[in-house]
Amino acid sequence: MQWKAFWGHLSTITRHRHTVIRHCWKAGIFWQGLRHDLSKYSPTEFCQGVRYYQGGRRSPNEAEREDLGYSLAWMHHKGRNRHHFEYWCDYNPITKRVDPVRMPMRYLAEMFCDRVAASKIYNKERYDTTCPLTYFQNSSARKRGELHKETADELMELLELLASHGEGAAFSELRRRVKSDRRLRHEKKRDRKKKD
């Protein structure tokens, strides 16, 4: 076991998690935020993270992929963490393919928090509120349509708001959307119970 890589990786994932939790608090999904990326501490993800540690400059998943041709850590991660759009794909009986499905608002909100935190850590002193938008605009996943159309549009809207009006405005809009989605879900649940 490489101790430098062990402590380095532990500190990278823990610092990232704490920034995301602070953002989730502002987005009105604090309890959900507390569980953010917990699977990174599981043996499958943690051991690969240490083995392929890149000094915190680059994701260990990329190095693992270069070595094995795939990243076990990433496949384990995306299959369990609903704040990744890659989780939200399912077999479509009409197209007979695996297609993206729309992300529920609370997970889209967590994805927003995750992207802003990652952008802050990655860009360091060069960070400003336009960075997460630029990153998403250039993303090949977006260009190739790997996100559901409505999910991509909703995320773009929020990132544009962040870029033009700052964190205060973006998080208050996010909170508003999360709240109205929660209300809608509770109403649906109540209606379903009444029918039973």
One-letter amino acid at 24 equals C
In the structure encoding, which two tokens stand for residue 38, read together?
């917990």
Interface map 74-93 toward Zn ion (x if CB under 5 A): -------x------------
Q: How far is the CB of 83 from Zn ion (least distance, A)?
A: 6
* Residue selected from 16, 37, 129, 159 as contacting Zn ion according to rule CB under 5 A: 37
| Nearer residue to Zn ion within complex by CB, 41 or 183 | 41
DSSP string, 44-65: HHHHHHHHT--TTSS-HHHHHH
Residue from 72, 66, 20, 79 nearest 12 by CA: 20
Please give the biggest Cα pair distance in the chain: 59
Note whether 12 binds Zn ion by CB under 5 A: no
Residue from 18, 38, 30 nearest 81 by CA: 38
- What character string, x for contact with Zn ion (CB under 5 A) and - otherwise, covers 39-78? ----------------------------------------
Binding footprint of Zn ion on the chain (CB under 5 A): 37, 81
